[in-house]
Amino acid sequence: MSALTSPRLPRRYFARHPVTLARDLLGRIVFYRTGQGLIAGRIVETEAYTGETDPASHAYRGRTTRNAVMFGRAGYAYVYFSYGVHYCLNVTAGQSGVAGAVLLRAMEPLAGTATMRARGDHGPEARLLSGPGKIGRAFGLTLADNGRDFTRGPLGIAAGSPVDDRDVAISKRIGISRAVDLPYRFAVIASPSVSGPHPALARRRGRENPAASTGR
């Protein structure tokens, strides 16, 4: 099997606090086997959303038809339509019944770049997946992908290579208006694919994980 798709991360990997998972997803590989071939990217930027304790989370006001996947088991895709334009991909985290998810903000393209370009982005290769909306478009995501199981089926996350703490920056989340001070955004410092303002972020080396001071 391809190193881009194997070994696949198991359910227990995702069943952790969203902040812990967001940090550890850096360096992992998202892949999607499609009719146009394999599409894959290395995760280089994430944001954690902790659910009903997080004013910026879709689950803050409780369970709805839209956010129901967030309250289910960990390791599923939560896909939502943003601003009537973009499909954004999240990974559910934590325990069943307690909402939590990690937004995949940016990746480095690894496979399927011709397909990505055919879907409308003709910029530099490093920028093809440099934002949540770009990921949704490049992977061809729609609401039909909401609820897909990352541990089986065509959409998955492979182990890839973990990223050392010294190469990770932590900052406030971007593009939100609530709970803006929480340090829940993680990015690979040297990656040219990071979205938005490049994180000169608060680099954390061996410090206490932010998850230790948050509720679920």
Four-point Cα dihedral 11, 17, 19, 25, nearest 10: -10
Question: Residue 24 above 80 pLDDT?
Answer: yes
In-domain check, residue 140 = yes
The tokens describing 179, both together, are: 């709970």
Convert the pLDDT of each residue in 102-137 to its tens digit.
999 999 999 999 999 999 888 899 999 999 999 999
Does residue 152 lie within any of the structural domains? Answer: yes
Contact criterion met (CB below 8 Å) for 169 and 187: yes
Please determine, for residue 205, whether its predicted confidence score (pLDDT) is greater than 60.
Answer: no
Q: Is residue 114 part of a domain?
A: yes
Tens digits of residue pLDDT in 149-180: 999 999 999 999 999 999 999 988 777 657 67
> Which CATH number covers residue 163?
3.10.300.10
**What confidence score (pLDDT) does residue 206 get?**
41
With a cut of 80, say whether residue 199 has pLDDT above it.
Answer: no
- Residue 196: pLDDT band with limits 50, 70, 90: confident
Give the pLDDT mean for 68-83: 90
Domain count, the chain: 1
pLDDT at 201 over 70: no
Q: What residue numbers bound the domain in which 30 lies? A: 11-213
Residue 4 lies in a domain: no
What's residue 67's pLDDT? 81
Which positions ≥6 away from 188 have C-beta within 8 Å? 26, 27, 44, 45, 163, 167, 168, 169, 194
173-182 CB contacts, 8 Å cutoff, 24+ apart: 173/47, 173/56, 174/47, 176/56, 177/56, 178/55, 178/56, 179/54, 179/55, 179/56, 180/56, 182/54, 182/56, 182/210, 182/214
Cβ contact 66:58 at 8 Å: yes
Tens-place pLDDT, residues 78-104: 999 986 779 999 999 998 877 899 999
pLDDT 10s digits, 51-67: 778 766 766 666 777 88
Structure tokens at 19: 């902040």
State the pLDDT at residue 176: 67
User: Model pTM?
Assistant: 0.89
pLDDT of 71 = 86
